[in-house]
Chain A
Amino acid sequence: MDWTILLQQIINGISLGSLYALVAIGYTMVYGILRLINFAHGDLLMFAAYAAIYGMTLFALPWTLSFPLAVLLTGVMGILLDRAAYKPLRDAPRISLLISAIGASFLLENLALVMLGGVPKGFPRPEVFGKVIEVLGVRVQVLTIYTPLVTLVLLLGLLFIIYRTKVGKAMRAASKDFETTRLMGINLDRIIGITFLLGSMLAAAGGIMWAMKYPQVNPFMGVFPGLKAFIAAVLGGIGNILGAVVGGFLLGLGEILIVALVPGLAQYRDALAFFVLILVLLFRPTGLMGEPIIDKS
């Protein structure tokens, strides 16, 4: 294979991987604190994409305003999701919480279907991102380069919040032990709310970039990115934010490179992620960077 094509594929893989990473962080943060797979997390991607579209078309906002607004709205949506679907079940068996999450996911998808229609909408991509530039002799879209950079900036911001602020300290405490955290005078519901806010905002950023990369926005667009991001989080070690990022990049690169190197496998691409998941759970259930999971029930 020509090395420029290989380089092209690697750049594509990094770009896709950084999207998985952004979404995976949200899964891993919620799992770290609530021990819950937030099935509806992927649908927040879809919500953000629609919010950005309507911001730009219906309200004719410039993208510089519409995107941040969409991210903020999705964050609020994440908090609402927690309040409506998960908070009443804090003391319930885990299976109830999971079923509620599945219900919430289907509700979001079908509400979108009913209210916005099932016909895919094109995403009005701002022209800045559509330009094609040449990097190391490879022609790539600016968006493909921006995606990992945006991910990096957001990740640094998140790490700052988690490791350098009081809220972050409380979040880390809550992921270890609910009772003790409460005894320290921390308002647990507030911390959980902030976790959902941050996770959902990252997912929204991922969703908007996903919609620019694959400009077909439909009510079910979040399902597969969501599942794969979850698998990326498990691969990196669930509960570990850096692990989620590493898992996301590995999965994204792996998916693109396998299809590039063995084109015959293209139709199995969607099954690959699950295959990875099963292998990880069989041989290293804590993932690449995870610590043993403390059962908090």
Chain B
Amino acid sequence: MDKRKRNLILNGLAVAALFGVLLAFDQFGTNYQVRILNNMAIFITLAVSYNLVNGICGILHLGPNAFITVGAYTSALLTLSPAEKQMTFIIEPLIWPLSVMQAPFVVSLLAGGILATIFAFLISFPVFRVRGDYLAIVTLGFGEVVRVLCNAFQSVTNGPLGLKGLHPHTNLWWSWGIAVLTIVLVTKLVNSSFGRAMKAIREDETAARAMGIDPFKQLLLAFLISAFFSGVAGGLLAHLITTISPTLFTFFLTFNLLMMIVVGGLGSTTGAVLGAALFAWGGEALRIVESPIDLGFFTIPGIPGMRMVVFSLLLMIVIIFARRGLMGRNELSWDGLMGKLKVMAR
């Protein structure tokens, strides 16, 4: 059988298997399990799109929380009905066009993604004038500025009170559908000539330039695509937790994403997926370190906040001792798997 055909069939089977698992959880899973699976899918979308900039292009961008914020607020403002908005905005009324607009969930997600992309485009000019540590701090700055603006523009964002009572539109199908879509599109991009140009910039920007690659164009492309999916994921997140406020989207969120892609392996989409899945599951599993442990004769008191200590230690240990993370820059592929199987069969 020709390889391409085989891969297509296997991909189809994998998606069908995922569908089956999701259907099982949708029917028989507890609320808690469904919640973790939803979180996992949103983290996968975020980590894969974040990895496109940080891992594939090799620039340390610390402002994905800005895109997520823009996406979340846009989509939340669009799904709330005018009456609900009037009830939420008690301090200052919502400004005119937004106050009467209402759109279906899918349109609101798209709008969130598009607005995040526009925002990314606007900040890209100052951001890509610099590299390295400066780029990191400038993007971090934009993340903070967005948070400050969210607190200040009460007539758009309702300030520190945030938006409450969003409809829980996000279900397993939405979150995993978008996660799969993100993975497919980002993988296609990475394997195209654009992806090769981005990797060339990561390895040596001067050499890439000498080969006729325009770094600004390539980085901008990655940045915009990453922003779009982060924005969509922001919309999903907003309609999963149904309450958003500026405190939700701090640098903390960026730190978590960074940890996922570093642990998974910077530059590997498979790694980003694994990192995000591990984080969603591990974050719950690690709750035991925060709750009291009863040893029968002695109770170890739970220590709130211990999870973050474990996470930051994990990040440092991975970056110092196992810089390649779980996957390095390798990807999981059917060709690779089949090769391994053949070797084992022999």
Contact = CB atoms under 8 A, between A and B. Distances in A.
A100 B145 contact: no
B306 A114 contact: yes
B145 A103 contact: no
A281 B138 contact: yes
A98 B316 contact: no
B60 interface: yes
Interface in B103-139: 126, 129-130, 132-134, 136-138
Nearest to B136: A98
Interface in A95-153: 95-96, 98-100, 102-104, 106-107, 110-111, 113-114, 118
Contacts of A6: none
A270 B255 contact: no
Contact of A282 (B129, B303, B304): B129
Contacts of B144: 227, 270-271, 274
Interface string A194-228: 00000000000000000000000000000000010
Contacts of A227: 137, 140, 144
A275 B145 CA distance: 8
A56 B257 CA distance: 40
B319 A270 contact: no
Nearest to B303: A114
Most buried by B among A100, A106, A268, A278: A106
B323 interface: yes
A277 interface: yes
Contact of A92 (B132, B138, B323): B323
Interface string A30-42: 0100011100000
User: Which size class do B's interface residues fall under?
Assistant: 35 or more
A104 B133 contact: no
A281 B305 contact: no
Given A110-B309, A114-B306, A271 B315 contact: no
Given A94-B133, A100-B320, A282-B129, A277 B151 contact: no
Interface string B136-159: 111011101100110110000000
Interface string B301-323: 00111101101110110011101
Contacts of B136: 37, 98
A194 to B, nearest CB: 22
24 contacts: A37-B137, A89-B320, A94-B133, A98-B60, A99-B60, A99-B258, A100-B319, A102-B258, A102-B315, A103-B319, A106-B308, A106-B315, A107-B312, A110-B312, A114-B304, A114-B309, A227-B137, A234-B137, A267-B148, A274-B144, A277-B137, A277-B138, A281-B138, A285-B129
Top 9 A-B pairs, shortest CB-CB distance: A274-B141, A106-B312, A103-B316, A107-B312, A103-B315, A110-B308, A271-B148, A113-B305, A37-B133
Contact of A35 (B133, B303, B305): B133
A275 B126 CA distance: 11
B58 interface: yes
B233 interface: no
A230 interface: yes
Contacts of A37: 133, 136-137
A99 B320 CA distance: 10
Contacts of B129: 281-282, 285
Nearest to B323: A96
B56 interface: no
A88 interface: yes
A297 to B, nearest CB: 9
A234 B135 CA distance: 13
A162 interface: no
A96 B323 CA distance: 8
Contacts of A285: 129-130, 134
A161 interface: no
Interface string B277-306: 000000000000000000000000001111
B76 interface: no
A277 B321 CA distance: 34
A85 interface: yes
Contacts of B272: none
B172 interface: no
Nearest to B148: A271
B262 interface: yes
Nearest to A108: B312
A94 B130 CA distance: 15
A235 B111 CA distance: 37
A285 B134 CA distance: 9
B267 to A, nearest CB: 10
A110 B305 contact: yes
B255 A268 contact: no
A219 to B, nearest CB: 9
A107 B145 contact: no
A37 B139 CA distance: 14
B305 A118 contact: yes
B163 to A, nearest CB: 19
Contacts of A268: 148, 152
A277 to B, nearest CB: 6
Contact of A281 (B60, B134, B149, B308): B134
A92 B316 CA distance: 14
A286 to B, nearest CB: 11
A154 B149 CA distance: 37
A100 B312 contact: no
A268 B152 CA distance: 7
Given A99-B315, A278-B126, A281-B129, A106 B141 contact: no
